[in-house]
Chain A
Amino acid sequence: MIDKKQKSILLLAVRAGELLMKNGAETYRVEDTIERICKACKVPYVEVFATQTGIFVTIDSGREDSDVFTYVRRISGGNSTDLKKVSEINKFSREFTTSDMSIEEGSRRLEEIHGIKPLSIPLQLAGAAMISAFFCLLFEGGLIDALCAVLIGAISYAISLLLAKHALNYFMKGFICSAIACILSLLVCAPFHGLQYHSMLIGVLMIYVPGGAITLCIRDFLAGHMVSGLAKMAEVFIIAISLATGAGIVLSIWNSLGGVI
């Protein structure tokens, strides 16, 4: 039988791994953290297999008559990128493995990290506005275009936060946000001459570019985690397609209604 201590070690390690995976850490880091936590609690044999959608951990106390225990944790729900949590769990695992922190204290700390709130919504909107304005400027937009992009970026990001709250799947989220950004920039530009809605729209769409998935996909392939790498690559392509179709459909409707693109 698995004893109580082993079970709580296993639960702690898997919880740390789950939180890392959900907040945008590499697969390598997830597996490494779980293994280190188990090893720090003197579990002699640990084998971890982590993917984007589930973590499998096997432990064995190494005695002749001991049983092998396997724990499977399904990771469901979308994952977001919250690098503060990744950083905090990283620090936690370093501290846990080098000090004699108790397991109860460890799980308390983990739940504390889990409860870290993202930045306030106005700040996030300001971030989105900054992205759209400065990328608009980088892609040949003028100053007035950038000012329009600030507004459009903030509105469309607010809508995406609202959609995320209602747990809409990520394809539809990208599609709707991209379509709304496209409608808004077409409407802003229609009455005026000389405004660059291409630059505006590129700036706003940069907000939704899946930077986390792109980076993690490459790093997973590099570390030999082919399954996770492929899953993230698929995610990147699906998001890219959702953004392109969202803006594309609006542009073709606009075109067929007689607008100029």
Chain B
Amino acid sequence: MSNLFLEFIFAFLGTFGFAIIFNVPLRQMPVASLVGGLGWVTYHVAVDLGTTVPIACFLGACMVGLTSDIASRIRKEAATIFVIPGVLPLVPGAGTYYTMLAIVEGNLDKAAATGVQTLAMAGSIALGLLVIGTVIQILRSATANIRKKTA
């Protein structure tokens, strides 16, 4: 539990660094960092519960998409301002690195295995954001329809 809290703090502060170099408006920086921290914690909890890594990435990305959309409504900002820094902790930087390392070591079997894993992680992040984006679009048009009917 304390481990999870520590991971949240690390991911939060790491995302804060991205918020600085991407020049996120000052007032939105903590929110963007929160999105990043929550995404990473979701990923971590999913891995702890025994899902495969790509599925955990998918769930983490869903969390990032969802919290960014909520934040964009509350703060009246574009959702991208939260998604761009927020999704970065999930991006498989380590996977890409170990794939490259295996190629340098001449261990092509290992390179293929980690490479496929990395691509699957990247793909599931994309899928997570896509699914959440689509759900939000559907909800938006549904509520617009209801409003039109009641008006």
Q: Which residue of A lies closest to B134 (CB)?
A: A222
- Residues of chain A with a CB closer than 8 A to B129's CB: 215, 218-219, 222
A260 to B87, CA, bound (A): 34
Can you list, as one digit per residue, whether each of B65-108 has a CB less than 8 Å from chain A (1) or not (0)?
00000000000011011011101110101101111110111000
Instruction: Establish whether residues A222 and B88, one from each chain, have CB atoms under 8 Å apart when the complex forms.
Output: no
- Contact in complex: B23, A130 (CB < 8 Å): no
Residues 180-199 of A, flagged 1 when their CB comes within 8 A of B and 0 if not, give 00000000000000000010
Nearest CB on B from A120, distance (A): 10
In the complex, chain A residues whose CB is within 8 Å of the CB of B16: 127, 130
Q: How large is the interface on B (under 10, 10 to 19, 20 to 34, 35 or more residues)?
A: 35 or more
Instruction: Decide if A106 is an interface residue (CB 8 Å cutoff).
Output: no
With known contacts A128-B21, A211-B18, A202–B85 Cβ distance under 8 A: no
Docked CA distance A216–B78 (Å): 13
Complex contacts, B11 vs chain A, CB 8 Å? 134, 138
Contact of A87 among B20, B78, B83 (CB under 8 A): B78
Q: Is A90 an interface residue (CB 8 A)?
A: yes
How far is A24 from B84 in the complex, measured between Cα atoms in Å? 9
Complex interface: chain A residues within 8 A of B78 (CB): 25, 29, 86-87, 90
The minimal Cβ–Cβ distance linking B25 to chain A, given in whole angstroms, is: 5
Given A129-B17, A215-B83, do A206 and B100 touch, yes or no (CB 8 Å)? Answer: no
Checking A135, A217, A222 against B133 with a beta-carbon cut-off of 8 angstroms, the contacting residue is A222
The distance from the CB of A256 to the nearest CB of chain B, in whole angstroms, is 10
Check: B58 CB closer than 8 A to any chain A CB. Answer: no
Q: Is the CB of B17 within 8 A of A211?
A: no
- Residue-wise, chain A 108-136 has the 8 Å CB interface mask toward B (1 for contact) of 00000000001100011011111110110
Any B CB within 8 A of the CB of A207: yes
A86 and B81 contacting across the interface, CB-CB below 8 Å: yes
Q: A24-B84, A218-B129, A218-B130 are in contact. Are A138 and B25 (CB under 8 A)?
A: no
Q: How far is the CA of A157 from the CA of B21 in the complex (A)?
A: 10
- B21/A251 in contact, CB under 8 A: no
* Dominant secondary structure of chain B at its interface with chain A: helix
Q: Is A74 part of the binding interface, using a Cβ–Cβ cutoff of 8 Å? A: no
Whole-angstrom CA separation of A202 from B99 in the bound complex: 12
Distance in Å: Cβ of A251 to nearest Cβ of chain B? 5
Would you call A252 an interface residue if the criterion is a C-beta within 8 Å of the partner chain's C-beta atoms?
A: yes
Q: Which of B17, B94, B98 meets A134, CB within 8 Å? A: B17
B residues near A50, Cβ cutoff 8 Å: none
Query: Residue B55 at the A interface, CB < 8 A?
Result: no
Check B80 against A24 for contact (C-beta < 8 Å): yes
A214 close to B (CB within 8 Å) = yes
Interface footprint category on A: 35 or more
**CB within 8 Å of B: which A241-261 residues:** 243-244, 247-248, 251-252, 255, 261
* Nearest CB in chain B: distance from A88 CB, A: 8
Among candidates B10, B89, B130, residue contacting A222 with C-beta atoms closer than 8 Å: B130
- Residues of A25-76 whose CB lies within 8 A of B: 25-26, 29
CB within 8 Å of B: which residues of A? 24-26, 29, 81-87, 90, 118-119, 123-124, 126-132, 134-135, 137-139, 157, 198, 201-202, 205-207, 209, 211-212, 214-219, 221-222, 240, 243-244, 247-248, 251-252, 255, 261
Q: B-side interface residues toward A, CB under 8 Å?
A: 7, 10-11, 13-14, 16-25, 28, 40, 77-78, 80-81, 83-85, 87-89, 91, 93-94, 96-101, 103-105, 122, 125-126, 129-130, 133-134
Identify 20 new A-B residue pairs, CB closer than 8 A, beyond the known A86-B81, A131-B18, A214-B91. A81-B84, A87-B28, A90-B78, A130-B16, A130-B17, A130-B20, A131-B21, A137-B10, A138-B89, A157-B21, A205-B93, A215-B83, A216-B80, A217-B126, A219-B133, A221-B130, A222-B129, A222-B134, A247-B100, A248-B103
